[in-house]
Amino acid sequence: MTVFSNAAHDGHEQVVFCRDEASGLRAIIAIHSTALGPALGGCRMWPYASEEEALFDVLRLSRGMTYKNAAMGLNFGGGKSVIIADPRRDKSEELFRAFGRFVQSLGGRYYTAEDVGIHSDDLIYVRQETDYVLGLPEKSGDPSPATAYGVYCGIRACLEEVYGSDDPAGRTVAIQGAGQVGYHLAKLLAEAGARVVIADIFEDKVRRAVEDLGVESVPAESVYDVECDVFAPCALGAVINDETLPRLKCRIIAGSANNQLAEPRHGDRLEEMGILYAPDYVINGGGVINVASEFNPGGYRRDDAYRKIAGIGGKLKELFAIARREGIPTYRAADVLAEERIRRIRELDRIFVPARGGARG
């Protein structure tokens, strides 16, 4: 397996392979950039078919975190980790503690948190071995409701852009994934009077959303065919691709999943099709804003964090305006915004200051 020549390698600073036979841990930690501060990004637990697939995923996800943290105005770089294992079968105290030891060995260059397949309760074990974990239950906790709230605010901004009104009442939203974010998003939308259609590969997750929230459901494979105002991908990445594009019957794509576009050209295609795309790492930034709020001078305060998360709607509107003005697709406008901030902040290095330690939110 090669790292530097991997299709997803993009000048990553550091890629660490972690193996512990006794606990069964096989993990990869990727640090894409620490230009703005220590790398911050969650840990994903997934039964990848191969190590190559896991490497590709962690490289893409960590790069996305560099852009997300920059776009959210946070002083963190981009990193991510993956544990190659099945979250329904392979969780154990020793596995998470072994992972925590590897995180600690990086000395604060990487802060971990939860992602797909990991629950904030799992982080309690990670915390026993490292200081560099965010989103613990006694601190900011599970970031998923915060992410869902950010996506909800983002969907409202998209509705306003397309229909001239941000009111979700009477709009149809198809949500792919009834997991931690998908469920909370469905709840917010249903409460606001939207018609919600949800899909998941696991029957129990769909049933929970249908029974608790009174939403509709379709089989996982049919979600792309739902006639809707908004398609909200809240499962895995690369779902906007050559096969799914011709099937979409929506005006807006706005969801929490990372790396929704299989390739940048799919973002160009959405533009041509007249579908408004809310760039994934901007609309799904609520979770990272929430965990990074643990570094606020007075400690974590939910109301402060949520006020900042509500700003995601405004960020999207700003980005849509740039896209219109420059005649570029929205995914490209998001990159411009993030790259600009990294450049501007890096230029501050021209002013010498004696070293200060630690992260600064």
Residues 162 and 179 sit within 8 Å (Cβ to Cβ): no
Compute the distance between CA of residue 162 and CA of residue 166 in angstroms, rounded to an integer.
9
User: Mind telling me the catalytic residues?
Assistant: 80
Which residue, 267 or 287, is less far from ligand NAD as judged by CB? Answer: 287
The three-class DSSP label of residue 88 is coil
Beta bridge partners of 176: 199, 233
Name the nearest CA neighbour of 319 among 307, 310, 328, 308.
328
Residues 281 and 259 sit within 8 Å (Cβ to Cβ): no
The three-class DSSP label of residue 1 is coil
Which residue, 106 or 186, is less far from ligand NAD as judged by CB? Answer: 186
Using rule CB under 6 A, residue 338 touches ligand NAD: no
Query: Which region among 23-31, 196-204, 294-302, 345-353 touches ligand NAD (by CB under 6 A)?
Result: 196-204
Nearest approach in angstroms of CB 305 to ligand NAD is 12
Tell which one of 140, 176, 244, 293 touches ligand NAD (CB under 6 A): 176
Which residue, 163 or 202, is less far from ligand NAD as judged by CB? Answer: 202
Q: What share of the chain is helix, strand, coil (3-state, %, to 5)?
A: 45, 15, 40
Using rule CB under 6 A, residue 130 touches ligand NAD: no
Binding mask 138-157 for ligand NAD (x = CB under 6 A): -----xx--x----------
Compute the distance between CA of residue 80 and CA of residue 57 in angstroms, rounded to an integer.
9
Using rule CB under 6 A, residue 117 touches ligand NAD: yes
Which residue, 15 or 185, is less far from ligand NAD as judged by CB? Answer: 185
Using rule CB under 6 A, residue 287 touches ligand NAD: yes
Binding mask 51-90 for ligand NAD (x = CB under 6 A): ----------------------------------------
Using rule CB under 6 A, residue 236 touches ligand NAD: yes
Residues near ligand NAD (CB under 6 A) are: 115-117, 143-144, 147, 176-182, 199-202, 205, 220, 234-236, 256-258, 284, 287
